[in-house]
Amino acid sequence: MWGLLLLFFCCAAACWPTLSYAAEEEGTSGTELRLVAFGDIHGDFFRCRQLLQLANITDTKDRWIAGSSIVVQLGDIVDRGRHPHEIYDLFASLEQQAKEVGGEFIFLLGNHELMNLLGDFSYVHPDAMAAFGGERAYAEAFSPQGAYGSYLLQHPVSVVRKGVVFVHASIMPAYAARGVEYLNAMFSDHFSSERHPAAAEDTDKNREHPFMQLDSPLWARAMLAEAMEGNCFLLRESLRLLSLQEVLLGRSPVRMMVGGHSIQGNGTISVECNGSLVGADVGLSRFIDRHGGYAAYVELVPDKSNPQHRIALPQYPYGKGVLAPAPSLLSAPVQPPRRMKAVRRHPPSVGGVNRDLVAHLRARRGKDSVNAEGISALHCQLFLVLAFFCLVCVVRLRWRRSMISRRRGVCGS
């Protein structure tokens, strides 16, 4: 019996971190935090800093002031503008600052990050390339083994926070069926053993990456376009499939999708399908012809009537559809890149859990239901119930033997 008691408490101790994580994902911690997202930046360092300050995420000295909030940038930091590397350098600092105080700053990979990793520099600003010392040095820095390329590959394509899935464009049903963890591993696996295509003769190899497809999470526009016409079928199906994967991992279902990529007219954030789909790309960058220069972000707040849901509240610091004030595009000098020494590349890790490495192993083993935490909350609960049942059976059996012994003693006397 004492052995079973020891087994029971050991199982409870082993399962506690997983159960606690599941409870946190469900929002039962009792503390509601800010959840903020903003879209494509495209090399506009001034607008990026301006928006972070207007949203009370950083101060004028680029110090994190958002506490334990979660802030998600939706990708496409590079290309078009003059200062992409300066934004990456700033984000690396914010990631560390946020982590130190219990917050989380996440930036996702967009189609332009992928293009640079593949050696397609069609949209790179000449000043940005010159800051690295020319095209050859730029190509080396953004190669999968380079200082900036390896840094990019430490970041995810998509994350789920508080029942909201964030992605650069949108996750179509065919991709949603595989789950977010699998998609992140799918992106990074392509670069694990390949040379940088910029050094290859056949430039068509760029198209071999699965996320260069127009329906991939980095390019897909159909879901938002359909939703704006009143058709939410694609969204509902994707949320259903993503929820199945999240529940298998012991987390809460996915109820909302937030993406960028498709510039919305007049700097207005689109909220479609009864608030379940958000198009957050308003053209922040002033380097986007005719469409850029707006300042807006989206705040995702808990629904008071149903705390499990979030409500998307677009924020327009200068007013809806109003171009934000800014200096000349050429007024700020381009600073040299800070990350010029290549760093060792690690698999993407978000929220302290190396989920993409687990997804990579899962893909190789062909087990789509392997828990990224090592064991699901549901399995923990079932195991605890089984152990408790065995304990009750042993106690009952010992009690019956004791009663029988007593009766025999009474009869013998």
Q: What is the pLDDT along the chain (413 residues), one digit of tens a residue?
A: 555 444 444 445 444 444 443 344 433 333 458 999 999 999 999 999 999 999 999 999 999 999 999 999 999 999 999 999 999 999 999 999 999 999 999 999 999 999 999 999 999 999 999 999 999 999 999 999 999 999 999 999 999 999 999 999 999 999 999 999 999 999 999 998 554 444 444 445 455 899 999 999 999 999 999 999 999 999 999 999 999 999 999 999 999 999 999 999 889 999 999 999 999 999 999 999 767 889 999 999 999 998 889 999 999 999 998 999 999 888 899 999 998 654 443 444 343 334 444 344 344 434 333 333 333 454 556 656 677 776 777 777 777 777 777 666 655 55
Contact by Cβ (8 Å): 109, 211: no
Three-state DSSP at 262 gives coil
- Domain ranges, ordered by start, for the chain: 32-375
One-letter amino acid of 300: L
Q: Which CATH superfamily is domain 32-375 in?
A: Metallo-dependent phosphatases (3.60.21.10)
N residues, the chain: 413
Contact by Cβ (8 Å): 130, 334: yes
Contact by Cβ (8 Å): 390, 4: yes
* pLDDT score recorded for residue 199: 40
Is 247 exposed, middle or buried (CB count within 10 Å of its CB: 0-12, 13-18, 19+)?
middle
Rg (CA), the chain: 25
